Amino acid sequence: MSDMNGKVALITGASSGIGRSTALAFTATGAQVVLAARREEELAGLAAEIEAAGGEATFVRTDVSVAADVKKMVEHTIETFGRLDFAINNAGFEGEFQGIAEFSEEMWDRVLDINLKGTFLCLKYEAAAMLEGGHGGAIVNVGSVNSFLGFGGGAAYTASKHGQVGLTTSASAELAPQGIRVNIVCPGITDTPMHHRARAIIGDEAYEALLQGRVHLKRKGLPEEIANAIVWLCSDEASYVTGTTLTPDGGFTMTI
């Protein structure tokens, strides 16, 4: 992997799961990291862990559905480290799983505000900072296999994740000529708190049937495996990759 010393990576949803692992993966390359999420205590703990290991980290409490928070997040990045090279838009919310006839408008708005509007707001302010910096950059949005596949009870989550793909391809078309690559990673079943909550809803038996019946590798992914894919997309090794979807899902979407 490329040496990222002197580069700055901003990660939303950094308090747990894929976001936390991505922050640690960037630290291992030498990058300085900015940790953003709503849970400030977890962010402070991760920043302390990174610094104790010799890395450089700062954190800022951020609700990605609030424009003022996102603007502040990017401003904090520039004020602290002077630049923004990599941005990982990972913050997400699964919401409730209910049929369309019962699904509340309030829950629909909350899911779309965090997952889709939040991705847009992050792209808006991150791209502006990178363009002003004049040295290009790479942005990775974090979707899901539900960016392509729907499931009963998951209309809001699936719609928000489909929307992220459109945002990614549009942003890439606009920003690539100016040196900013934009891609999306769409993980499958991964060992994160979100998937633990989903397992609790559908039950252990149904969860294992899904894992064994659809995933070619017959196991769930690790957050570190998704993080490695994200960091690779930001690296010089991926310099000709933009506007694309990378799907680390163990073969989930290849099963008929």
- Known active-site residue 125: no
- Pair of tokens at residue 41: 């205590």
- Residues 6 or more apart whose CB falls under 8 angstroms from that of 4 comprise 26, 29, 30, 31, 85, 86, 234, 235
Q: Which of 125, 157, 207, 240 does the annotation list as catalytic?
A: 157
d(CA 70, CA 121): 7
d(CA 152, CA 154): 6
Task: Report how far apart, in Å, the C-alpha atoms of 225 and of each of 45, 79, 96, 219 are.
Answer: 22, 31, 27, 13
d(CA 142, CA 94): 13
- Beta-bridge mates of residue 58: 34
Helix (H, G, I), strand (E, B) or coil at 200: helix
CB hemisphere CA count around 197 (13 angstroms): 9
Active-site positions? 157
